[in-house]
Amino acid sequence: MTSSTVSRVAIVTGGSRGIGRAVAERLAADGLAVTIVYRSNEQEADAVVEKIEAGGGQAIAVQADVADEEAIARAFDATEEAFGGVDVVVNSAGVMILSSIADFDLDVLDRMHRTNIRGTFVVDQQAARRVRNGGAIINFSTSVTKLGSPTYAGYAATKGAVDAISPVLAKELRGRDITVNAVAPGPTATELFLDGKDEETIDRLAKLNPMERLGTPEDIAEVVSFLAGPGRWINGQTVYVNGGMVH
């Protein structure tokens, strides 16, 4: 398949594992060519590309730190070279480190802010310049911004910034038919989330919502798919994807 036959093209940051991987695989299943941007998991990123290609889709993997504007510009360049343009950008790369405010390591706070705030801003900046008319930009927030759970202040603060960025960018792209939204998952059963948690903790988190289960990466990817495709009248919003978790 040549780039001329590709109808729509997506870039997914953090696409080598977890929710990002589910998003990349879902968008590929929807018929989009996909660029997976990864920071360090080259082997896992390549495995996602192989899986997408084995299913008849098109994908490439590009290494980049989302907070590095030159690296992200190169990722957009590589996507345009491979597939002819960019229509959808999904910012799912993120860092979550938990601690009370009193005990938080401020160097860790700076690192988390670099990825979650600067990284979102850098990727959105390239997206604003390069996404084709009729496209979609989807950032990642969190339901914890409303829940206010102890130890989540640093992380929730970074995602509160994402909630602020998305509607502003939506308005700045007036006239180009490009939607900008944020998706805010609740507790989701990724390897990263489950690691280090006992059964009691997992069960308690699962029961925060009336569906009484954890979300799956596929649950989140389904909403991203909608916002990336048919959901054209949702714009400038943070969409809570958490099974009705009480706030």
- Active centre residues (catalytic): 155
Q: What tokens appear for 196 in the block?
A: 């280090």
| Chain centroid, CA 163 distance in Å | 13
CA–CA dist 139, 227 (Å, integer): 11
| Chain centroid, CA 67 distance in Å | 14
For 26-29, the CB contacts below 8 A with 24+ separation are 26/218, 26/221, 26/222, 26/224, 26/225, 27/88, 27/90, 27/221, 27/224, 27/225, 27/228, 28/52, 28/55, 28/57, 28/58, 28/59, 29/55, 29/57
CA–CA dist 90, 27 (Å, integer): 10
